[in-house]
Structure 1
């Protein structure tokens, strides 16, 4: 996720690539980023990366958050941000023993590298100016939604984990297309563009999925037969169970 965020930021216009420093123990990953964005700064030193930084973003596994924080010293004005699931703003403040530190939790999904993320934001002690600045940065990489922290786990299941469920549907649709005689590259294009179009209809209009399904399902037609098969197979129930499992994992 860290690489995807760095790529998204570097592609934007608000943060020039030469204002971004990425720290990673993997030289291969750093070299790949540097090849894509030559002006971006890379290092193996976490402390070097955060020196004089305005925004320090931790994109590591949850169990690595505390060890990483113990090896760095934040500047007085730095916003401490994390993408780690399950680590609260209060946890982050406790790890550094700074209850008044400005804390931000950022929950993007992997589409951030394509500037198409649904990014969830919440934080403690942020000024309106800081909220506005953070919103601008991440709106360049898709769209954002600020939520109370108690809603974050549910929103993570919908958006951050949810993108994997969309891919799972697209994979299944591609496999069906192949079985019906469509070449794989054509099958995934057909399925992915259909999913993109469906999303645009919902995002750009005051409508509901049920209404849009009804528009396609003519009586006795092809689509209603497929919809009924999905219902018989428990498609909706499976999606709901998957989301709730991700929320409480």
Structure 2
């Protein structure tokens, strides 16, 4: 009769070889991201991370175009608003409005590249740094709570996480931005269809796509297609980069 301890795994000394190909982890987390963003309850929580990236995209674009950033608010219904001062129309406002929906996907590609280069610690510190910068522009209590909680999770992984934990967390965040970015675009079009789109006078307030339509005189559906294409290409590119992980 074999002893009970003879079949016990030594978890502290497990290596990637004993666990199997690390690429399997990337695939498993991709499936998890699809499932969790597809389920209404979990998506309502996770979407806050996508909203942080979305509003951060607006903020960066506003600064790049020389607009004065007036603050960011994140709401409990997972919506957000980025306020900036400058000309109400023109290229600066168009670029600012355009930057929101692609931001989570493009950030996800950047993080995926760091995963592929085995720069996991860099990735986590970059996330913390971006959240710290964003925190200076938050103008409401829920927004402060959301950004601080997200940053605290990343810091906790940096301090206490082992190699497997940090890689898993990094891949999970990256997939959330990539898959969640696409889910947000799909929701955008569903909302436009349900509420009616376009504007017959003043500037629209319903969505970024309709605001872009008013600013550019190009139909809102065109901008939704652009957002969708960027998100889809980003998922493919991000997945390829993460699957090329080579420690």
Kindly indicate whether structure 1 or structure 2 has the higher relative contact order, using CA contacts under 8 Å at least 6 residues apart: 2
TM-score normalised to structure 2 length = 0.29
- Which protein has the bigger strand share? 1
